[in-house]
Structure 1
């Protein structure tokens, strides 16, 4: 069962491929969705692609009756004309941020069923004077929650990160007992939301060979193993710490449902290696559903009509799946 409310789709960086993959996705699917972004940018990309679509400005998610072949856009920024494609731009950074904030407000108000975000560019945000390092931190702050986690998923593996957008040195400092517990709890909840009744969660070690009994570092002994025991006491099926270089292979073979990775690249490299077109980013811990394609703005191909919308379509499908699961859980 799907929600009667539309999904919000944020346009992402207007200088990247976000508008293109949104337009292609909606042209193929006929999806009823609301794009938070710029009428001018969406009109320009539809013209460039030669798509048989019209762009309509609307005041709110329910302001107009859905119309076939029409993309409804809520003007969420101050983009008067499309910025140059393939270039880092403060205008695009600000517009992307404004769209995210507006979509979050709509989700919190119950006006949309969830959010699917197109890629943003961190340097463009910075040029606009926005200090958030990425989507996840914006979503947590404006979503009004203290703890969130990234789940990266495809057809073969799922991973949840203990630490996200920070330096490796800082990640080691942040991967404390509380962060381990939060990641395992959210991994458990995320697995259930995806239809896994009792998720089997593998926790990766921080150090090579999971510390090799303290020879290569003692974080596994001091922090990670005690957190796993505490999580198990809460009824979470967690195990480890497992060596990071083999745990994803075991998950791919079906031994585990979710892998908790200690830092960004430890978790994202295995997922992205299996194919960007299959991956989706899910933010756990929010009061609403949020998904995103697992790739960036691809400035090098922006506006050329060759961007693949497959990951965006996967993100949309996951959003519908999670919205339906959330609605079911609220009824029970």
Structure 2
């Protein structure tokens, strides 16, 4: 048993820097000293990001937080399998925008079920979210203009 919180990390925009940021961050021992990180995203895209940054981490694909090992040197990932292998990097994509929404939705479900302690999201692209059919105002109505 651990007193470190389980943090659900949404992968963000799979066509953007989110996967690389996650891989680089999870290579640091101090992250694992502070929490038990769990990525909600796409394992295939994380593998590509690992290759891009030259990571030596292992990827452990799971379907539920209870299956996670939370070992150093390993990335735990609930793989939603939404990103095609040929999705280009650095381009606005409706597929990546829709996937980013679903990563957040799944993570919220896990929070509500008591399987995670907190959420951290990698960078999102509002244009991609909109292209994927998820329209949110750029400025919440409760913010002063």
Gaps of 5+ in 2: none
In the TM superposition, residue 5 of structure 1 has moved relative to its aligned partner by: 4.0
1:46 and 2:50 are equivalent in the alignment:
yes
In structure 1, the partner of 2:95 is 91
1:35 and 2:61 are equivalent in the alignment:
no
In the TM superposition, residue 76 of structure 1 has moved relative to its aligned partner by: 2.8
Report if the CA contact (8 A) 1:77-1:98 is conserved: no
User: Which is bigger in relative contact order (C-alpha 8 A, separation at least 6)?
Assistant: 2
Report if the CA contact (8 A) 2:43-2:81 is conserved: no
Report if the CA contact (8 A) 1:40-1:82 is conserved: no
1:114 and 2:114 are equivalent in the alignment:
no
Gaps of 5+ in 1: 135-164, 176-261, 264-332
- Structure 2: how far apart are the matches of 1:11 and 1:17? 9
Using the size of structure 1 for normalisation, the TM-score is 0.40
User: Which is higher, the Rg of structure 1 or of structure 2?
Assistant: 1
Using the size of structure 2 for normalisation, the TM-score is 0.87
1:81 and 2:88 are equivalent in the alignment:
no
Structure with the higher fraction of residues in helix conformation: 1
In structure 1, the partner of 2:59 is 55
- Structure 2: how far apart are the matches of 1:16 and 1:4? 29
In the TM superposition, residue 6 of structure 1 has moved relative to its aligned partner by: 1.2
Q: Which residues in structure 2 correspond to 1:278-317 (within 5 Å)?
A: none
Matched residues, number: 140
In the TM superposition, residue 64 of structure 1 has moved relative to its aligned partner by: 3.0
For the aligned residue pairs, the C-alpha RMSD in angstroms reads 2.0
**Any runs of at least 4 consecutive aligned residues in structure 1 with deviations exceeding 2 A, and if so which?**
2-5, 29-32, 64-68
- 1:7 is paired with a residue of what secondary structure? strand
